Amino acid sequence: MEGNDKKNFEEFFEELEDLIEQTMEDVEKSMRHLLKSDYEKALGRPRFYGFSVQMDERGLSKISKFGNNLTSQKDARTPFYDQLVDTNRRQLTLIFELPGIEKDSIQLKTSTDKLILDAKSEDREYHAEVDLEAEVDPSTSSCSFRNGLLTVSARIKEPDSEFTNISVI
């Protein structure tokens, strides 16, 4: 195993171990809160929590959390989502799973490096602030929503090749 591969492998498991430890702390805080609260109110809505682990094209780990924030009083969930960067087509695509949501209740905001999603129905609420893996041109953003899947696409910004003269004093 090459030195760089071994380092990436070790970093991956260190990051995974940190995430599992943080998750266990969140679960413990949530259980303490649950024991001190009104059971029926706290358990009135289904809750879920998890994380996904993926490898990028360089072999580095990419870990993202989804579900309810276990230590927050707010009922908004972070939806499960995936982010795809197509360098050949110069396009970034995000796919969100939003079960139980209607198209009209989705609000999206984007900048060159961040996307914010809010969606709400009678019994579900989703919120996500996603750091984009590539800078995009927000004016090229488009989206579609079908069967609980929201797809958001935007063109990746062209690299800035303009130079600025600097005066030497």
Q: What is the pLDDT of residue 38?
A: 53
pLDDT digits over 133-159, tens only? 899 999 999 999 999 999 999 999 887
Query: Listing from the earlier edge strand, what are the strands of the sheet with 91-97?
Result: 81-86, 91-97, 149-155, 142-146
Residues in the chain: 169
Q: What is the per-residue pLDDT for 112?
A: 92
In percent, the amount of the chain with pLDDT more than 70 equals 75
Q: What pLDDT does residue 44 have?
A: 54
What's the 3-state SS for 87-117?
Answer: CCCCEEEEEEECCCCCHHHEEEEECCCEEEE
Burial class of residue 10 in the structure, from the number of CB atoms within 10 Å of its CB (0-12 exposed, 13-18 middle, 19+ buried)? exposed
Specify the range with the lowest mean pLDDT, choosing from 112-121, 143-152, 155-164. 155-164
pLDDT, tens digit, 9 for 90 and up, residues 49-87 = 666 777 766 777 777 766 655 444 456 888 888 898 898
Q: What is the mean pLDDT of residues 35-49?
A: 56
